[in-house]
Amino acid sequence: MRYPTLSNTNTVGLSEQLAGGQDPSVDPHVEWFGSGDEVALAPIADAADAMAREFREWTDSDRDRFEGKAATALFKALENVPPEVLDDRGFWRFLSIRYFWAFIAWREEVAFSRGNHLKYVDAVRSTESVLPRMYLRIQAVGGEHHGPLAAAVPHGTDFWRSHVLRVRSGSVPAVARAFARKQAGDRLMTDSLRQAARRLNRTWANVVLNVYDDSEATDLIQTIWDQRADD
């Protein structure tokens, strides 16, 4: 499949222009890779347009919750994109600059106001760049069917980035779902959450969590909630 990409160098230049209020043309900088049919960009563009309309009407201070809600639409728009394309950082850079810049600038408004914008669009770190982390968030909970869980944790930025996406538990949907449900319904504050997350991470030393179903994962997370004070 043929697909568009942006090099890191061009992403730096274009993002600086966009951050400075310019409206540069992206197309001359795009490089195409692969062969055969071209990746379908129309569903992605439609998702970006819908997202733009929605975030401009969003009045809640919790922008992470909007990110979680919007992640389902992004995931669906990319459902027919092959894994090898999604593994290419250049593709994510293209999407970020070409279609989603306005949303990303809004989502990370504080960082952008300080001139810190590149890491949110360059896809170097998938847990920092906005679009890859949104995709991974839905993937972590097991796909589009479980998408509402991605927005279930109020003010969940640290929860998702630090305690799901950056650790092994994010690769086990049943565990990620149970963890998100518990934090949404029985919220732990920062220190207690870190304590619970450490206990969950240590569980990997003795248990093969990959084979857990939802019931077993729910019991595990409840045990961790009950025992966290012992740390």
CA gap 225, 231 in Å, rounded:
11
Q: Per the structure block, which two tokens stand in for 210?
A: 């990959």
Q: Say if residues 86 and 135 touch (Cβ distance below 8 Å).
A: yes
| Distance of alpha carbon 128 from the chain centroid | 8
- Per-residue pLDDT, 231: 53
pLDDT 10s per residue in the chain (231 long)? 999 999 999 999 999 999 999 999 999 999 999 999 999 999 999 999 999 999 999 999 999 999 999 999 999 999 999 999 999 999 999 999 999 999 999 999 999 999 999 999 999 999 999 999 999 999 999 999 999 999 999 999 999 999 999 999 899 999 999 999 999 999 999 999 999 999 999 999 988 999 999 999 999 999 999 986 555
β-bridge partners, 33: 3
Task: Give DSSP secondary structure letters for 156-185.
Answer: -HHHHIIIIITSGGGG-HHHHHHHHHHHHH
Q: Per the structure block, which two tokens stand in for 64?
A: 């992470």
CA gap 26, 198 in Å, rounded:
43
- Per-residue pLDDT, 95: 98
CA gap 101, 203 in Å, rounded:
39
- Per-residue pLDDT, 227: 85
